[in-house]
Chains A and B, each alone.
Chain A
Amino acid sequence: MIMNREQKKYKPGDRIGKYILMEELASGGQGVVFLAKGKVIRQKYAVKIVYGRKGDEGRRRLRAEAGMLSSLSDSRIPYLADFIETDTASALVMEYVEGTTLTTFLRTHAPVTEERALELLEDAASVVAWLHSRQPAVIFRDIKPDNFMMTSDGELRLIDLGCALSGYGQVKDDVSYGTVGYAAPEQLAGKAVTPASDIYALGALFSYMVTGSDPVIPPFKPAGPEECRFTVSEGSLDILRHSLAPSPFVRYQNGEEMLDKIKRVRSELAGKNAGPLSRRILSVLYRAAIVISCLDVALFDALLLKDWVERFYDYPLIFEYILKNIYPTRFIPWHMGFMITALLFIPLKKAIGYIIMRRERYVVSRDWAVHYTSKQGRGL
């Protein structure tokens, strides 16, 4: 169906330019987003439509967003496919990112383990760090789970750059962008935004992932290090302290700094879980001894059955070879040792391992840590 000039709103089935709108994905203050297909090449696209007269604020912002998308080229950000303007609307056509929003994932899975939360935070921080490294820096200004899509292989991709600001300093608009709960205090107050404002939002996102407490719910405050002190390691608490600090000067100054810290905390956690080098070497040697012992026992049992086998089959030459080279008298003590290892030490080691594991890894996970109080600070 072709859009009529008098008709104000597009709906699924309508055509805009060379794209056919299929279903409405989202609608909000910044316009309506449709899933669309190309008329000729049947590829999927996301089409963001803003209604109004030419020169209206909304349409100018959409044009600016198109300009910003066209200057950014990264696999973690949807590419700009087209920009269409009609008398009544502007449409931004971009790559459709398949997957679910991070909101949907966290609603069902949060709180996640610290390792998983750090993995997701690293994905999110890496794309934000890339934006901050542009010349001039691009500040996203609206980091929240709704603006991350999780693909089928668990990677995060950033969508909706409608609030992004290129070059930072004084906010030129009278409108404050952002989402309450994720927006930094200076952002909500209408003051100058810097890359540190995005860092606050990343900290709020991390807090949601590890506590399950969404900052968009009243009192619109992300859970801080005090609330998380039982759930995460010291390294992660440090990330929270430096990202959720009220003053932007105390926070990480850009995504790159935060990304460095996240990587260090992840490798510390991985190193702690892996255990010291000596224990790992011992573990490898022990496993090799187990394999050799089991093979030795199997071979010895085969030799014991030699006479019985000879009744039905010709005696294989391999057994002669084994008797002569592997089982001469002087090697018997070695074979006895292997057999004792296989029959005695495997169950004994497993029992000791179980006892040690119960002692060291008795607590499998820390799941909830929710605390409501009006008391300030710890202690009296």
Chain B
Amino acid sequence: MAFYSILYEKGKREKNEDTVAIHKFTTIDGEVIMALVCDGCGGMDMGECASGYMTECIEDWFYSDLPDKVRRGTGRRGMARDLKNLIFRAHEEIRRYGAGLGKQLGTTLTLFISVNSRYLILQSGDSAAYSISKRSGCLTAKHAKGGRLTRCIGSGKYNAPSLTLGKIRAGSAFLLVSDGMCHTLEGRDYSGALMPQKIKDADAASRGLRTLADAAMRRGETDNISAVYLHF
């Protein structure tokens, strides 16, 4: 694994309701990396509590449960199953908490986990994950219709996140973004700013992400803008 870069911008909002995290540990067999973007749902209160809590649950699982699973050779589908159970429990906990306060909390989730050159992505909501290459492709489904979310964690009926599996090639790059970036930008914008052949180190990646954030704001974006760039 070469390097990563993170963008975490409030945009024109009063507070940043997104949560972004990246973690990595090395085992005897190889590297395990987790990156996630959680966007506290716009229009709902205390979005940062929902996104922060979801992130904490996944981080705890990453360090306490995942090493054993990797050691025993659990496949990605087995890990995804485990994660979906965890996300369901978090969904119920957030819903219960919100009901106690008389508020509606919710968060989207884009979770990327790589284990020894293979990855899985779990997606719920309108944040997204892209593979950055000459023709950047979106790897996740968008769970939104007419400006409203059709899947969200912590609010309404539980819908399991969608799963994407794939292989990582040396020199490839991935980008996880919140909706603040993917509303106004497209795949060609990402590949223009973050082409793996151009991005040689974390500083270059930071500059690329900064360029994208500025472009999004010039195009009228007002939402929080969060992104994680991973270069293998």
A373 to B21 alpha-carbon distance, docked (Å): 9
Q: B25 and A375: CB pair below 8 A?
A: no
B191 at the interface (CB under 8 A from A): no
The answer, yes or no, to whether A318 is at the interface (CB within 8 Å) is no
Residues of A within 8 A of B (CB): 230, 357-359, 361-375, 378-380
Q: Are B59 and A363 in contact (CB under 8 A)?
A: no
Chain B residues in 8 Å Cβ range of A373: 18-21, 48, 51-52, 55
A364 near B26: Cβ-Cβ < 8 Å: yes
Q: Is the CB–CB distance between A365 and B28 below 8 Å?
A: no
**Structural contact, A372 and B6, CB atoms closer than 8 A:** yes
Q: Of B6, B53, B94, which one neighbours A375 at CB under 8 angstroms?
A: B53
- Within 8 Å by CB of B21, from A359, A361, A366, A372, lies A372
**Pairwise interchain contact B49-A367, C-beta atoms closer than 8 A:** no
A363 near B49 with CB under 8 A, answer no
Q: Given A372-B6, A372-B8, A375-B53, A230 and B48 touching (CB < 8 A)?
A: no
User: If A373-B48, A374-B48, A375-B53 touch, does A362 touch B21 (CB 8 Å cutoff)?
Assistant: no
Q: Is the CB of A368 within 8 A of B24?
A: yes
Question: Pick the contact of B26 from A230, A359, A363 — CB < 8 Å?
Answer: A363
Contact B24 A371, beta carbon cutoff 8 Å:
no
What residues on B are CB-neighbors of A371 within 8 Å?
A: 19-21, 55, 59
Given pairs A366-B24, A371-B55, 9 additional interface contacts (CB within 8 A): A364-B27, A366-B63, A368-B22, A370-B6, A370-B22, A373-B19, A373-B52, A375-B48, A375-B52
**Interface residue B189 (Cβ < 8 Å from any Cβ of A):** no
Q: B16, A374: Cβ atoms under 8 Å?
A: yes
Contacts of A358 in B (CB 8 A): 28, 71
Q: How far is the CA of A369 from the CA of B19 in the complex (A)?
A: 13
**Whole-angstrom distance from the CB of A211 to the nearest CB of chain B?**
12
When distances are taken between beta carbons in the complex, the residues of chain B under 8 Å from A374 are: 15-17, 48, 52
Chain B residues with CB below 8 A from A380, complex form: 49, 53, 93-94, 97
Q: Is the Cβ of A372 less than 8 Å from the Cβ of B19?
A: yes
* Structural contact, B20 and A359, CB atoms closer than 8 A: no
| Interface pair B67/A362, CB less than 8 Å apart | yes
A372: chain B residues within 8 A (beta carbon) = 6, 8, 18-21, 226
Most chain-A CB neighbours within 10 Å: which of B20, B24, B25, B71? B25
Which residue of chain B is the closest to A359 with respect to CB atoms?
Answer: B71
Known: A230-B23, A372-B6, A380-B97. A362 touches B28 (CB 8 A): yes
On chain A, the residues within 8 Å of B22 by CB distance are 368, 370
B109 to chain A, nearest CB (A): 14
Complex: chain B residue closest to A357, CB-CB: B28
- CB pairs A–B below 8 angstroms (23 shown): A230-B23, A230-B59, A357-B28, A362-B28, A362-B67, A363-B25, A363-B67, A364-B26, A365-B25, A367-B25, A367-B26, A369-B23, A370-B21, A371-B20, A371-B59, A372-B20, A372-B21, A373-B52, A374-B15, A374-B16, A375-B53, A378-B56, A380-B53
Whether B4 sits at the interface, judged by CB under 8 Å, is yes
Q: Chain B residues near A369: list those with CB within 8 A.
A: 23
- A361 to B, closest residue via Cβ: B28
Q: With A and B bound together, what is the CA distance between A364 and B20 in angstroms?
A: 25
Residues in A neighbouring B93, C-beta threshold 8 A: 380
Distance between Cα atoms of A380 and B45 in the complex (Å): 13
Chain B residues closer than 8 Å to A361, beta-carbon distance: 28
Closest residue of chain B to A378, judged by CB? B56
Chain B residue with Cβ nearest A362: B71
User: With A and B bound together, what is the CA distance between A152 and B23 in angstroms?
Assistant: 32
User: A364 — which chain B residues lie within 8 A by C-beta?
Assistant: 25-28
